[in-house]
Amino acid sequence: MYSEERKNIIRQVIKNTGKVHVSNLSKKLNVSKVTIRRDLADMEREGLLKRTFGGAVSLDLVAKAQPYSVKKEKNIAGKQLIAQMASKFITNGMTIFVDAGTTTAELVPYLLNCQNLFVFTVDLQIALSLCRSNKIDVYMIGGNLSRSTKSVNSVDSVLKLQALNFDLAFIGCDAFGLQGFETGTETKAQIKKSAISSSAVKILLADHQKYGQHSLFNFSNLDKLNYFITDYDEPEFFNKLSDENKKKMLWENRNE
**pLDDT digits 0-9 by tens, 178-201:** 889 999 888 899 999 999 999 999
pLDDT in tens, 83-122: 999 999 999 999 999 999 999 999 999 999 999 999 999 9
Q: Give me the CATH number covering residue 49.
A: 1.10.10.10
CA separation for the pair 205, 67 (Å, rounded) = 19
**Domain end call among 12, 39, 61:** 61
What is the side-by-side strand order in the sheet with 217-220?
Answer: 175-177, 180-183, 217-220
**Strand 117-121 vs strand 95-98: parallel, antiparallel, or unpaired?**
parallel
Q: What is the pLDDT of residue 50?
A: 81
Question: Who wins on pLDDT, 142 or 129?
Answer: 129
Q: Give me the CATH number covering residue 133.
A: 3.40.50.1360
Exposed, middle or buried by CB within 10 Å (0-12, 13-18, 19+), for 101?
buried
CA separation for the pair 202, 199 (Å, rounded) = 6
User: pLDDT-based confidence at 64, cuts 50/70/90?
Assistant: low
Are 24 and 89 members of one domain?
Answer: no
Are 73 and 173 members of one domain?
Answer: yes
pLDDT in tens, 208-217: 888 888 787 8
**Domain end call among 16, 44, 61:** 61
Are 106 and 56 members of one domain?
Answer: no
Domain count, the chain: 2
Instruction: Say how many C-beta atoms besides its own lie within 10 A of residue 76's C-beta.
Output: 12
Q: What is the mean pLDDT of residues 231-256?
A: 79
What is the percent of the chain where pLDDT is above 70?
Answer: 93
The closest of 193, 192, 197, 191 to 155, measured between CA atoms, is: 191
Q: What is the mean pLDDT of residues 196-207?
A: 96
Are 167 and 231 members of one domain?
Answer: yes
pTM for this entry = 0.77
Are 19 and 80 members of one domain?
Answer: no
Are 163 and 41 members of one domain?
Answer: no
CA separation for the pair 245, 92 (Å, rounded) = 28
Domain of 214 in residue numbering reads as 68-255
Q: What is the pLDDT of residue 65?
A: 60
* Exposure b/e, 229-249, CB count within 10 A at least 16 = b: bbbbeeeebeeeeeeeeeebb
User: pLDDT-based confidence at 256, cuts 50/70/90?
Assistant: very low
pLDDT in tens, 31-54: 999 999 999 999 988 888 888 767
Q: What is the mean pLDDT of residues 10-22?
A: 88
Q: What is the mean pLDDT of residues 126-153?
A: 90
Are 53 and 135 members of one domain?
Answer: no
Output the average pLDDT for the chain. 89
